[in-house]
Amino acid sequence: MKPQISLDMIDHLEQLALVDFGNEEGVQRLQKAIQFADQLHKVNTKGVEPLSSVLEDSLCFAGPYTLKKDTVAAGNCAETLLGNARTVVEEYFVTPPDITFLIYIHKH
């Protein structure tokens, strides 16, 4: 069964994902992705403990192979690091906008 997707939902998803679903092919791909993901609702998870990480049961979380403590060896170099950026806003690197974001801005 094809999921029903409203225009408001498409606009919202475009904004969140920075993907343009503005044509029939894009909407069909979105519907197929939703149908595929909807299969997860059919999985019986009764008695299954939630994970905080998919690596929870791996060697890096158990026994002598635990992760080492994260300690800062050198610091206070934000100014040097940000000096490598073309554009900085409030101590953050600014990347060029995605083309889909530009299309979204143009539409609205």
Domain count within the chain: 1
Give pLDDT, residue 67: 64
Identify whether 1 is part of a domain.
no
Q: What is the pTM of this model?
A: 0.44
Give pLDDT, residue 53: 72
The residue segments making up the domain with residue 44 are 7-107
- 51: pLDDT strictly greater than 80: no
- 46: pLDDT strictly greater than 90: yes
Identify whether 2 is part of a domain.
no
Alpha carbon distances (Å) from 57 to 44, 63, 68, 73, 93: 21, 11, 17, 29, 35
